[in-house]
Amino acid sequence: MPVHRRSPWSLPDSEVTPPALFRARRRFLKAGAGSLALSAGLASGLGGWVGAARAAVERPGKLAPLEVTGTTHRVDEALTDYEAVTTYNNFYEFGAGKEDPAENAHTLKPRPWTLSVDGLVARPRTFDVADLLATQPLEERIYRLRCVEAWSMVIPWIGFPLAALLDRVEPLGSARYVRFESLIDDERMPPRNRAPISYPYVEGLRLDEARHDLTLLAVGLYGEVLPNQSGAPIRLVVPWKYGFKSIKSVVRISLVEDRPLNTWQALQPSEYGFYANVNPEVDHPRWSQARERRIGEFFRRETLMFNGYGEAVADLYRDLDLTKWY
């Protein structure tokens, strides 16, 4: 008879943290955020992000809570502090500095928001994100996030599989890739705050990557809706790839036949490829990828192939030379 093997990232129902305990932990973190964040910032050499940026960020309990069906995927590692997750990140529409998004993203208005899904599909649709959240079951997933800049976090996202959305539009047989496009809006994302790259921000996945069970459309973190600076109201999360693949504030998803040219590949193809799989054996031209700095930790740690998700995703690339197709 078939033997069911639990995936290493899945969480038994008996180990799901009750919501009351989860929120109690967040209150504890909030109470100690000042000293903890300061020491973590100094130890990690982050400096400025513990200053004005933290003053601009919404704390847990300030944003709308989200109801989830459970925690279906997790890594058994300490969560990165909420303050760090929401004040140390890249969101170039709001500036090139790590603290810029938390300072500048107050201009983003995440409601109302529509998400168009079009291209090589039988039923192209435009979804109102509020309606989508009301009809799509949400789950918590605790994933590692590894930036190409060699820092990392562990984040409790809330969302739903991208595959569930794609099923609703019925991709055609000719569709081979999925192209994602972020919002670009002069009022909600003033040009004076943007980093000097091409907009709108574009990303892409192969269709089998997009339909993989780990690929998530996130609408929240730490039990609440996404803060603006984290990609509100809806963003992509692909945990085995470098963070720049996880495009924020998505307004359009297109099923296409040809491989999309993503923003960073277009800017510097020798440094940023289409696949962007986390790979400690393939260095960035300007720094090693063998080790990473987990935000909040003093020492660097070894980087895991595919960010630790190799058992789930390695077969997707069995025919690729990952030193060539980086």
The closest of 122, 46, 125 to 84, measured between CA atoms, is 46
Q: What is the DSSP letter of 322?
A: T
Distance (Å, whole) CA 214 – CA 279: 18
DSSP H helices in the chain: 19-31, 33-44, 52-56, 82-87, 100-104, 129-135, 162-169, 207-210, 263-267, 310-313
**Tokens 């943007």 appear where?**
194
- Per the structure block, which two tokens stand in for 276? 């962007």
Contacts of 210 by beta carbon, 8 Å cutoff, 6+ apart: 162, 163, 166, 178
- Predicted local distance difference test score (pLDDT) of residue 59: 58
Which residue pairs from 283-289 have beta carbons closer than 8 angstroms and sit at least 24 positions apart in sequence?
284/148, 284/150, 287/149, 287/150, 288/150, 289/148, 289/150
Question: Residue 150: how many CA atoms within 13 Å on its side-chain side?
Answer: 18
Which amino acid is residue 58, in one-letter code?
A: E
Paired strand residues for 10: 73
Helix axes 33-44, 19-31, angle to 10 degrees: 70
Query: How many other C-beta atoms can be found within 10 angstroms of the C-beta atom of residue 25?
Result: 14
Q: What values do phi and psi take at 91, rounded to 5?
A: -155, 85
Rg (C-alpha) for the chain, rounded Å, is 19
Query: How many other C-beta atoms can be found within 10 angstroms of the C-beta atom of residue 203?
Result: 25
pLDDT of the chain, 326 residues: tens digit per residue: 333 333 434 433 333 333 333 444 444 344 443 433 333 333 333 333 333 333 345 556 689 999 999 888 999 999 999 999 999 999 999 999 999 999 999 999 999 999 999 999 999 999 999 999 999 999 999 999 999 999 999 999 999 999 999 999 999 999 999 999 999 999 999 999 999 999 999 999 999 999 999 999 999 999 999 999 999 999 999 999 999 999 999 999 999 999 999 999 999 999 999 999 999 999 999 999 999 999 999 999 999 999 999 999 999 999 999 999 99
Q: What values do phi and psi take at 324, rounded to 5?
A: -95, -45
- Predicted local distance difference test score (pLDDT) of residue 234: 98
Contacts of 191 by beta carbon, 8 Å cutoff, 6+ apart: none
Kindly provide the residue ranges of all beta strands, DSSP E only, lying in the chain, ordered along the sequence: 71-73, 114-119, 125-128, 139-146, 151-161, 177-182, 202-206, 216-221, 224-225, 235-237, 250-256, 291-294, 301-302
- Predicted local distance difference test score (pLDDT) of residue 62: 80
- Predicted local distance difference test score (pLDDT) of residue 177: 98
Is the separation of the CB atoms in 104 and 91 below 8 Å?
no
Contacts of 250 by beta carbon, 8 Å cutoff, 6+ apart: 115, 180, 181, 182, 183, 217, 231, 234, 235, 236
Distance (Å, whole) CA 121 – CA 15: 39
Binding-site residue numbers for Mo-molybdopterin are: 89, 92-93, 147, 182, 235, 246-248
Complete domains list, the chain, with CATH: 13-317 (3.90.420.10)
The model's pTM: 0.84
- Predicted local distance difference test score (pLDDT) of residue 60: 62
Binding-site residue numbers are: 89, 92-93, 147, 182, 235, 246-248
- Per the structure block, which two tokens stand in for 184? 């670009």
The closest of 320, 245, 307, 239 to 278, measured between CA atoms, is 307
